Amino acid sequence: MGSTTTLSNEHADAFSSINERPVDDISLEFFYKPHTITLLAVSIASVIYTAFVRDETNTQDNLWSGICCVIFFFLIISVLTFPNGPFTRPHPAVWRIVFGMSVLYLLALLFLLFQSYSTVYEIMYWVDPNLRNFHIDMDKEYAVNCTDITLARVWSHVDVFAWGHFLGWAFKALLFRHAGLLWAISIMWEITEIAFAHLLPNFKECWWDSLILDVLICNGLGIWFGLKICKALEMRAYKWVSIRDISSTTGKIKRAILQFTPVQWTPVRWLDPTSTYMRFCALSQLVVFWQISELNTFFLKHIFEMPPSHPLVIARLCLIGVIVAPSVRQYYTYVTDPKCKRVGTQCWVYGAIMVTESMLCIKNGKELFGQAQVCNVIIWLVIQMLVSIGCVYGMVLYHRYFESAEESAGDSPKKAN
């Protein structure tokens, strides 16, 4: 009986560490004490003031104010009740708000899923009337004159999107922290673009743009840069001092800025020689799911006709970027820690968002998907599965033979001494 209780407590602790991680060392108690009554009083006072003082003559402003008030109170409740996930910096309340925003986004997607295509468009036009004037130019030609390779033409492709590729892959490197996994996702994305180029014209690229600029330069440098940051953070000694114990003003400011950095940097080991088949399948699954999540970005803005620079597109990218950080960490712990028997709440919500976005695209893009070349999609699915399994299996072999050999070689001088 006692051993069973101890085992269940270990499982609960493993899940708590990724779902609602406690703050290990509190230096300023004021910011970590509950202020529920104060928060309630301030919230109600703000609502009373805005509800009775503001001008109510404009119906659209009234609707916007009501929506903003609902979001405001939902995020307040998120701070009070939702889990903060695996992170505690800069403050657990920040990650509770992120979780609340992810739930709100999921609820909005589910609402749109039950609306007709025309109704969704009317809602979008109500949010931004300027979208009525934007239409995707399906006649625009991509990947033209690919044999004309000059330095000036190649340089002209190094635009804001190239920097977006670089920064995006640096961010992904900080999330996954595994070169093999990152390169597998990078190569698979280029195959995904080829498979869906007949549906999304902007996926058409010249071979040198796809292989050299995208995979090798932008993605490759981003992966290299991100992994270098990971290595530096792993080698750093983490010894935190309370801001009250720092005498100089400069030191206090530096400590306040460092509050926005990780409390520690744990090395990631997705695979090891003792990995089970379940972990192997889970990692292969992650590569495929990541492709679907990336595809949602392009299909959403294509089906609902939004320019890449539209605030809704940028806001979604920023929100997904923030959501995916705790989600990947929770997924990693669930896959690698035998004591963790449940996937984290934020990861669960992110999975629901990914599936709902896909369903929204399929439901409202029937005309677009009716033009799909089934052969291309089937080949894409087969290649996805084969490459994902092949890359993950290659990583298993690397960890089993090469890395083990390196560790043995490193230990032998110590044993000789």
DSSP characters over 111-157: HHHTS-HHHHHHHHHHH-GGGGG----TT---S--TT---HHHHHHT
**Which segment, 15-29, 204-218, 338-352, 398-412, is predicted with the most confidence on average?**
338-352
Residue 113's pLDDT is what? 93
The torsion angles phi and psi of 159, rounded to 5 degrees, stand at: -115, -160
Q: Decide: 102 and 350 in contact? Cβ < 8 Å.
A: yes
The identity of residue 158, as a single letter, is V
Q: Is the pLDDT of residue 144 over 90?
A: no
| Residue labelled with tokens 């033409």 | 153
Residue 417's pLDDT is what? 46
Q: Count of CB atoms within 10 A of residue 265's CB?
A: 18
Q: Is the pLDDT of residue 367 over 90?
A: no
pLDDT, tens digit, for every residue of 250-295?
776 776 777 667 777 777 878 766 667 777 788 878 888 888 899 9
Specify the range with the lowest mean pLDDT, choosing from 34-38, 97-101, 181-185, 296-300.
34-38
Q: Please give the helix or strand (H or E) that residue 388 lies within, else none.
A: helix 374-397
Q: Is the pLDDT of residue 24 over 70?
A: no
Q: Is the pLDDT of residue 407 over 60?
A: no
86 falls in which pLDDT band (50, 70, 90)?
A: confident
CA torsion angle for 394, 404, 238, 260 (degrees, to 10)? 0
The residue-averaged pLDDT of 69-75 equals 91
Specify the range with the lowest mean pLDDT, choosing from 39-48, 159-168, 173-182, 301-310.
159-168
Rounded Cα–Cα distance for residues 337 and 311 (Å): 39
Residue 416's pLDDT is what? 45
Q: Is the pLDDT of residue 361 over 60?
A: yes
Q: Which of 352, 333, 349 lies closest to 341, judged by CA?
A: 333
pLDDT, tens digit, for every residue of 148-164?
777 777 777 777 778 88
pLDDT, tens digit, for every residue of 222-261?
999 999 988 888 777 666 666 666 777 777 677 677 766 7
Those residues whose C-beta lies under 8 Å from the C-beta of residue 229, and which sit 6 or more positions away, are 170, 173, 174
Residue 378's pLDDT is what? 83
Residue 54's pLDDT is what? 82
205 falls in which pLDDT band (50, 70, 90)?
A: confident
